[in-house]
Structure 1
């Protein structure tokens, strides 16, 4: 599947510039359009105390500030794109960020978001989600590491990341604690090679060490600028529960992490 539309979620935080840079760079590389989404929070309506109503003027003042902030984010994003001769489609809604971004994610090929947004969004997105930490951009992707355990989630992530890996050209399939004598990385490596990707398979024993930290260590050692992995966990009554390795990677990664669930 080609990457033709990229959604970047701008949450109104300092790292927004990093995420938009990443989306713009990827957009230029794949000839993809960029959709920038900001979800405005709803005004906080606190009790007036003693059964009193909150003055309408306070709610209106909050709304004015929320709208002003959204306009500032839009202006900054358009200017940032304009500096490199690009443009964005701007979308702005009010409500719950994860729910709204999840709906918009159904109509794009890739989502770029902050790690703390990505950890929720990956459960409701129909598209792969790239978590981009502050201060990093996938500028000149050269090498990817695939965290592989043979699961459905890992296979989904690899398939979703295929256009990126074809652009990168080389990848390492990393298997931590392979079961028994099974070489579970061979088949996926063969499939990637059939798409013209130069692939190496590496197996590593954790010896009780933290899996997430090992993934990041191996990615750093191999010089990877992209980590691809399945998001392991489930959602329950809108409480997102990530597997330990996924959570640890999102907390500590210094490179973009592409996830699918």
Structure 2
């Protein structure tokens, strides 16, 4: 993992995701790219008839804010002793992050568990990017201050998405001292959890298996309890793109884990 990308901006979550991106870059001796979208809503007004109007004053203000951000972040990164660059993208935030991530190893984003889920914000933004990208997303809660590599937990149900998340997470998992695979309602028709452990062992990762027992509580509540008991530094899980699972992942599970525990989550589709 050498190419670390982070969504740059002046929002409330930027400092936490920047710090996590710095921790990753330092850990893997990598290169940090700051992805700075230039969404049209910052300087274009839309009327009721579908017309769009360029607002020069709004454009100038937005550019001034972007320049202030660059100067502030550059001053911080100069003392970090690591290579970095800025990449500007015109278009929506989703398009900018998806396009930038094509040749990245991981994209660091924020996931505000209290967000409403409106397009371009919080869970909706992470959901849109991870389901459109082949690059894993590291979703960072606003409360997160750093990225540690002592313990990691994997949410595994035997599906393709979970398998993709494990493969994407190998560099992070290999750098972690202890790894646990939490099997959550795996279907007998899917890949058994022992296959996941065997795959990781071939990368030098000795993962223990914990079967999350079925019960009267929801999947997210049981996974939350397992995660709290293990006290990991981050979670690896698949991002499910349709139906009940998508609502669970970007609703219940993500809200619980990031809102209640405050750990980063590596998502892959």
Task: Structure 1: state its 5+ residue gaps.
Answer: 236-240
Q: Match for residue 238 of structure 1? A: none
**Contact 1:114–1:131 at 8 Å: present in 2 too?**
yes
Q: Match for residue 31 of structure 2? A: 33
Cα distance in 2 for residues equivalent to 1:134 and 1:82:
24
Q: Does 1:63 align with 2:59?
A: yes
Q: Match for residue 45 of structure 1? A: 45
Pairing 1:102-141 to 2, within 5 Å after superposition: 102-115=98-111, 116=122, 117-141=125-149
Structure-2 change in CA distance of 1:205 and 1:183 (3 Å): farther
Over aligned residue pairs, what C-alpha RMSD do you find? 2.6
Structure-2 change in CA distance of 1:100 and 1:178 (3 Å): closer
Tell me the CA shift for residue 242 of structure 1. Answer: 2.5
Q: Match for residue 211 of structure 2? A: 203
Cα distance in 2 for residues equivalent to 1:68 and 1:9:
18
Aligned length: 248
* TM-superposition CA deviations, 1:7-36 (whole Å, max 9, x none): 101232021011111111110110110000
**Contact 2:240–2:246 at 8 Å: present in 1 too?**
yes
Q: Does 1:147 align with 2:151?
A: no
Cα distance in 1 for residues equivalent to 2:255 and 2:268:
17
- Return the index of the structure with the highest Cα Rg: 1
TM-score w.r.t. the length of structure 2 is 0.84
Cα distance in 2 for residues equivalent to 1:154 and 1:79:
39
Pairing 1:149-188 to 2, within 5 Å after superposition: 149-179=157-187, 184-188=192-196
**Contact 1:99–1:124 at 8 Å: present in 2 too?**
no
**Contact 2:156–2:186 at 8 Å: present in 1 too?**
no
**Contact 1:131–1:250 at 8 Å: present in 2 too?**
no
Q: Does 1:79 align with 2:75?
A: yes
User: In the alignment, which of 183, 192, 210 is matched to residue 200 of structure 2?
Assistant: 192
Q: Match for residue 242 of structure 1? A: 246
**Contact 1:119–1:250 at 8 Å: present in 2 too?**
no
> Secondary structure in 2 aligned to 1:62?
helix
